[in-house]
Amino acid sequence: MRRKSSVLGAVTVVVLAGGTLVGCGDGGSSDGGGSASRTSAGASAATTSPGSTAATSPASTSASPFSGASATLPPKKGTGSDADEHRAEAKAATMLPAPEAIGKALAHTPGKVLSAEIDDNAQDRLIWEFEILAKDGTLQAVNVNPAGGAILSSHQERGESDDLARGKRLLTGGATDAAAAAKAAAAKGTVVSVKLKPENGGHWSVETGPGDRDWSVPLDSVKVSPERHD
């Protein structure tokens, strides 16, 4: 019997080397005491072998390089009426008002904002989208999460030479900037977009919600007036 016990011990060692701890009672069967459910660190490693799809989490391939980018985004704009969409945009904009959102974007990409707009992204989630005339003379797109102000993404815009030329031509000297225009128009409602327009020597076209109204702010003051649509 001593020799038989030695053989069983050897079997146990072999099994342990394979990565699984098996409890043996009399005759080598499980004694029901729970020892069979224990696994060693080797067992855990075995479940994530090179051929196992569980070894890589899908989330690891889509992680954003920007801090806080995975934070919850505002709800989808929805597919209801125009009024419903305008209310959803205004609600998202109240989470991070336009002047503050502009500050977040410029802290990441210094320069001059040419446009700021609450719009839906590829996943139909509402975000702040910016076009910035960067200090190096390029046109940069920056996306900001209204829920917390994290930078979601940024990249250089291509094929937008008209916007770039307009910004360089109009935003010179002491011209009213996007943040000042947004602050002035905030008295009319929640600012959901600010865009540089070339008409009348240049002005800011500002949209407020939830009533979907358009305002004009000149480049030489912060006077707000209803925008005329010719």
Report residue 207's pLDDT band, with 50, 70 and 90 as the boundaries.
very high
Measure the CA–CA gap between 164 and 123, rounded to whole angstroms.
Answer: 28
Q: Which two tokens stand for residue 197?
A: 């327009």
Is residue 163 located within the same domain as residue 216?
Answer: yes
Q: Which two tokens stand for residue 149?
A: 């102000």
Measure the CA–CA gap between 151 and 154, rounded to whole angstroms.
Answer: 8
Pairing of strands 126-134, 111-120: antiparallel
CA 217 to chain centre: 30
pLDDT value of position 75: 65
Measure the CA–CA gap between 203 and 215, rounded to whole angstroms.
Answer: 10
Report residue 14's pLDDT band, with 50, 70 and 90 as the boundaries.
very low
Instruction: Record the pTM.
Output: 0.68
Is residue 214 located within the same domain as residue 122?
Answer: yes
SS3 190: strand
SS3 content of the chain, % helix, strand, coil (to 5): 35, 25, 40
pLDDT at 11 over 60: no
Q: What is the mean pLDDT of residues 72-78?
A: 68
% residues pLDDT > 90 (the chain): 57
Domain range for residue 219?
82-226
Is residue 67 domain-resident?
Answer: no
pLDDT value of position 6: 42
Q: Which two tokens stand for residue 34?
A: 């729970």
Question: In this predicted model, what pLDDT tens digit does every residue of 31-53 receive, in sequence order?
Answer: 444 433 333 333 333 333 333 33
Q: How far is CA 223 from CA 36, 119, 219, 227, in A?
A: 78, 26, 9, 12
Is residue 193 domain-resident?
Answer: yes
Question: In this predicted model, what pLDDT tens digit does every residue of 142-155 receive, in sequence order?
Answer: 999 999 999 999 99
Is residue 122 located within the same domain as residue 211?
Answer: yes
Measure the CA–CA gap between 121 and 165, rounded to whole angstroms.
Answer: 26
Q: Which of 135, 133, 155 is nearest to 64 (CA)?
A: 155
Question: In this predicted model, what pLDDT tens digit does every residue of 193-205 receive, in sequence order?
Answer: 999 999 989 999 9
The total of structural domains in the chain comes to 2
Kindly state the greatest CA–CA separation across the chain.
104
Look at the block and give the residue holding tokens 């109240």.
Answer: 94
Is residue 101 domain-resident?
Answer: yes
Is residue 109 located within the same domain as residue 191?
Answer: yes
Is residue 198 located within the same domain as residue 94?
Answer: yes
Measure the CA–CA gap between 102 and 58, rounded to whole angstroms.
Answer: 33
pLDDT at 60 over 60: no
Strand partners, 155: 141
pLDDT at 91 over 50: yes
pLDDT value of position 30: 39
